[in-house]
Amino acid sequence: MSQAGTSASSVEVSIAPAQHPLRIAIFGFGTVGSSVARILVESKPQGLELTHVFNRNVARKRVDWAPAGVVWSEDAESVLASDVDVIVELAGGLDPAGTWVRKALGSGKSVVTANKKLIAFHGIDLERLAQNRGGHLKYGAAVAGGIPVIPGLEQGLAGDRIERIQGILNGTCNFILSKMETGAEYAPVLAEARAKGYAEADPTEDVGGFDARAKLAILMRLALRVQIDPEEIVPRPITEVSAVDFSYARDLGCTIRQVARAEQVDEGKGGHLAATVGPMLVALRSPLAWSKDTENMVIASGRYGGNVVFSGHGAGGHPTAVAVVSDLLALAHGSRRVEIPSAPAHVGAEFEVPHYIRFLVMDRPGIVAAITTALANEQINIRAIVQKPGFPAHALPFVVTVEPCKSSALKRALDSVRTMDCMLVSPLDMQILE
């Protein structure tokens, strides 16, 4: 990602519409690509015409409901060199998708994409290329699928000063964690998510937090007006969360969700940027706790307008396709760039929040005293110690919650605790979102 100078995202402002229907080429005819084609064919949005479909081994992708004039191709270069006006990139990943997008923008074409990783890592450079060559780059489907979060931030909340952004950005993780609320363990729920098509064979991008991290980086640019390297955000996986954690969370009036959050902290001292992604305890009264299955939710907190909640189906072919076609319609009816400046920044601050720590130990005297000492050495105050009955002494789970503290201080304390020979697994630490 380029870190030089400021840049700007775009807001759509109506000007003269296109003189002829925009010729659309879909790159990637999978779940989302076929849904985009369905909408274009069945709804016939004014000003849009599907003319090309590119996919590897494209013969197996042909459908009988597409117009007879659609060109089905497995030659990306020939489609890029054709007379299409807009490339709809739905293949995902950095390459070869990034190469296709750059060639399209470089030739003056516009691009609509749902590729969060490409936009998170290279969006600034691609927007600059589009601006220089007279095209447009739109990515309303890159975050939260069919929920209009990106246009909402670019247009509806442009007059506010967003100070914090937080939300549930990955449908796979939300499906897994909301199912685990009923007492199920992680592994069987992951298997169910795979069976339903919500999780890939290798779910690391989702459960490891990398998918949500890319989406958070995009939201930070649009909401907090900062350009960051996504790799500065270190995600925490949900894989260590177990059914017993949900049981303890309920006793604390909470549930567990994968939350992505970012905000400016210590603004009176010059301001520092904090961002994180991982499983967190959220209060049952929080809107984040209400999000179930594959739903997504984003909460933007503005200085003047307060909290605005975006919620809905963030995954799936049809919801994501709606966002893609909405971007296409914006292009068909004319748009020009309105500068919303953003500046390079680094994630250099920590959240100072309460934490939930779950230990699994072989019980013996002195364990709590040793943990208390390790926390006290880092000036961390204990809020509560909770232990449920009914567990065997040779595998005893119990929970310690602590008052607001910096993650780095807690890490040092837990580094000393995890060396104790009674620890059966590494302690699980989760922020408590208050």
- Each residue's pLDDT tens digit, 376-397: 999 999 999 999 999 999 999 9
Q: Give the residue-averaged pLDDT of 2-8.
A: 48
pLDDT average, residue stretch 32-47 = 96
* 121-127 average pLDDT score: 96
Helix ranges (H only) for 196-302 are 204-207, 210-219, 243-251, 287-290
Per-residue pLDDT, averaged over 297-303, amounts to 96
- CA distances in angstroms from 228 to 16, 212, 232, 341, listed in the order given: 35, 15, 8, 14
Amino acid identity, residue 251? D
Q: Average pLDDT over the chain, rounded to whole?
A: 92
* List of domains in the chain: 7-145+330-342 (3.40.50.720), 149-313 (3.30.360.10), 352-433 (3.30.70.260)
pLDDT at 4: 42
Q: What is the pLDDT of residue 3?
A: 41
Position 6 scores a pLDDT of: 52
- Preceding omega of 203 cis (within 30 degrees of 0): no
What residues are annotated to the active site? 215
* Lowest-confidence segment of 46-55, 57-66, 79-88, 259-268 by average pLDDT: 259-268
Q: Hey, what are 271's tokens? A: 């301001």
- Residue 249 has a CB neighbour count (10 Å cut-off) of 24
Q: Is the pLDDT of residue 271 over 70?
A: no
pLDDT for res 67 = 95
Task: Look at residue 205 and tell me whether its pLDDT is greater than 70.
Answer: yes
Which pLDDT band, with edges at 50, 70 and 90, does 52 fall under?
A: very high
Query: Cα(253)–Cα(384) distance, rounded to whole angstroms?
Result: 14
Average pLDDT over residues 324-340: 83
Assess whether pLDDT exceeds 50 at residue 14. Answer: no
Q: How far is CA 398 from CA 185, 192, 238, 379, 384, in A?
A: 17, 29, 19, 21, 11
Phi-psi region of 35 (alpha: psi -120 to 50; beta: other; left: phi over 0): alpha
